[in-house]
Amino acid sequence: MASPSALPPNAVEDKRGNVIGTVIFCLLWSTVMVGMRLWARGVVIKQLGIDDYICIVSLLVTYGAGIAIAHMTTYGLGRHISVMDPANIPLYLRNFYVSIVMYCAALLFIKLTFLFQYYRVLAVQRMRSVYIASIIIVGGWALSQVLVGIFACHPISGFWDSSIESKCIPNIPQWYINAAGNIFTDVVVFALPLPAIWSLNLAKGSRIVLIFIFSLGFFTVIISIIRIRYLQLFEDFPWENVESSLWSIGELTSALTCACLPTMRPFVSRYFPSFASQHGHSSHGYANASSGAATCRRRRAGGPSALESGGGNVQRVQSRGSKGVDALSVSINGSEVELGQSRSAGLKSYPFKGHVVHEFGVGVETGSASFRESGVKGADDD
């Protein structure tokens, strides 16, 4: 460390508080978003899927990246190199290495969260192969970046220990390739569901709202582009790396938030019903809420996908059965649900009055209709 008389005037500057405060906020916000998602999916509709479990892993790895960034302040991040103890440089670089690996791993699991969520919600028959191919290609790219981050130097400890003879991948080209590839795959991931959403048999305003919700992910792309500016090797690296570190944790937080938002509808409907009813007309339906051939080929109409975006305003879904059932219909208007089943003997309807809080299932091929016990709170009018 330089003597006090030799220190430049800016040596007293300190951004460590900004780093720690930003990391804590981002991790808490991510925890709240993922927690609300899991409550909505696991408690309200009791339908946890593989995308929810991958989201949990994404949060844990994001914590790893955030903790590594915050711990770097112990060894100089946020201070000028002129006041940095030279003995701390290897410790700083070791934490920097961990933050890089965790950042790449978090992006891998977050991208998979999106793609498996699309497969669960929007995978009509013609799109299944598209989503599977995307999972393989995008997941493969993200995994390759994790491996490159881990094995950037041989031996690995050569990344932070200059006393070891090692061979390392040049940092700047690798960082730019990583950033460009992540931006491209992000655009693919966030654009993938938009054509399917636009093709839903919904009112134009409803489609626009759904597209807006799914398009929020492009905000993450903007953060990734901004972050490129700070991917440089600075002489005063512990001071200049603050921005790139904070943009990195901000990017992960934004991506996790965008992955969780489309699943929040059951949570809002249960705990803020007045808010949900005010906005119900413009935020309903995923692919299962639409009518037509795609719905008729599936064994469920409605289900958690429809209600997650507010299926309470689907007016009527009809399909023709194949085992003695002429027609089966579901009519929803606000908080009232009516099931109609038509046979050759006539039409029999089952009106329910109550608040839909979970999911309902309609077996199109068998002509059966069923509700979860906690799915409709109310009474049969008969």
How far apart (Å, rounded) are the C-alpha atoms in residues 154 and 169?
9
The first and second tokens of residue 268, run together, are 């809002």
Rounded distance between C-alpha atoms, residue 111 and residue 103, angstroms: 12
The pLDDT assigned to 272 comes to 83
Q: Work out the angle at residue 243's Cα, subtended by the Cα atoms of residues 238 and 245, and round it to the nearest 5 degrees.
A: 75
Which of 133-142, 215-224, 357-366 is predicted with the least confidence, judged by mean pLDDT? 357-366
Q: What is the pLDDT of residue 292?
A: 33
**Which range, of 177-181, 281-285, 292-296, 342-346, averages the lowest pLDDT?**
292-296
pLDDT of residue 224 exceeding 60: yes
Which is nearest to 57 in space by CA: 15, 9, 109? Answer: 109
Q: What is the pLDDT of residues 39-93, one digit of tens each?
A: 999 999 999 999 999 999 999 999 999 999 999 999 999 999 888 889 999 999 9
The helix or strand, by DSSP H or E, that contains position 369, with its residue range, turns out to be: strand 368-371
8 Å CB contact between 268 and 275: yes
**Who has greater pLDDT, 132 or 287?**
132
From its phi and psi, is residue 285 left (phi > 0), alpha (psi between -120 and 50) or beta? Answer: left
pLDDT tens, 20-34?
999 999 999 999 999
Q: How confident is the model at residue 226 (pLDDT cuts 50, 70, 90)?
A: confident
- Nearest CA to 340 out of 373, 361, 310, 318 is that of 318
Looking at residue 103, what is its pLDDT?
95
User: What integer pLDDT is reported at residue 158 of this predicted model?
Assistant: 93
Tokens of 73: 């302040």
Burial of 382 (0-12, 13-18, 19+ CB in 10 A): exposed
pLDDT tens for residues 173-188? 888 888 889 899 989 8
Given pLDDT bands bounded at 50, 70 and 90, which one contains residue 112? Answer: very high
Task: Check if the beta carbon of residue 169 is closer than 8 Å to that of residue 148.
Answer: yes
Q: pLDDT by residue (tens digit) across 314-370?
A: 444 444 444 433 333 343 333 333 334 444 344 444 444 444 443 333 333 333 333
| N-terminal to C-terminal alpha carbon distance within the chain | 84
In the predicted structure, residue 18 carries a pLDDT above the cut 90 = yes
Set out the domains of the chain in order of their start, with CATH numbers. 4-263 (1.20.1070), 284-380 (no CATH)
Least confident of 191-200, 250-259, 319-328: 319-328
Pair 310, 283: CB distance under 8 Å: yes
